[in-house]
Amino acid sequence: MVKFLSDEWIEYGKEYIRRNLDPAKDLGNLTTSLHGVIEHVPPTDSTTTFYLELENGQLSDFILRVGATIPEKTPVFVITGTYGAYRDIFEGKVGTAMAILKNRIKLKGSKVEALKIIKQLDGLIDALRKVTDEFEEGPSPS
């Protein structure tokens, strides 16, 4: 397995999603995009953003960038949280919907639309969970 938020995480994640998730069955032929903004990334307390895009249930883009945005991409949703909150989600300690409801992560975009696709998003997170088990040590989740 690979380190969370590494270039290898992106590459293994792309490969795993394309190989193991069925566009119709697992991803509901979903078309959407999101920025996952991760704040207070250890060890440098930086911000990292990933951009993930699906077209008809097919992964069309998955990139990672240091910084709070990826200016050339305009996502449908922006999900912002601390490294600790994202770590808890990717370790399976809390679900995405519960993290949003408990304000562990903030959602910019339609909450109604997000709730409609939460099952597919959780499927993507579960797939990415299968390629990473290495996390930086950092402050406790907020």
Question: In this structure, are residues 69 and 28 in contact, taking their beta carbons and an 8 Å threshold?
Answer: no
Position of tokens 């903030």? Answer: 106
Q: Which amino acid is at 39?
A: E
Position of tokens 């088990």? Answer: 133
State the average pLDDT over residues 24-47: 96
Which of 50, 103, 100, 40 has the alpha carbon at shortest distance from 73? 50
Position of tokens 């770590």? Answer: 87
Position of tokens 């579960």? Answer: 126
CB under 8 Å to 16, separation ≥6 — which residues? 127, 128, 130, 131
pTM of the model: 0.90
Which of 81, 29, 35 has the alpha carbon at shortest distance from 58? 29
With cut-offs at 50, 70 and 90, classify the pLDDT of residue 1.
Answer: confident
Residue 138 is predicted with a pLDDT of 59
Helix (H) or strand (E) holding 20: helix 7-20
Domains of the chain: 2-128 (3.30.1050.10)
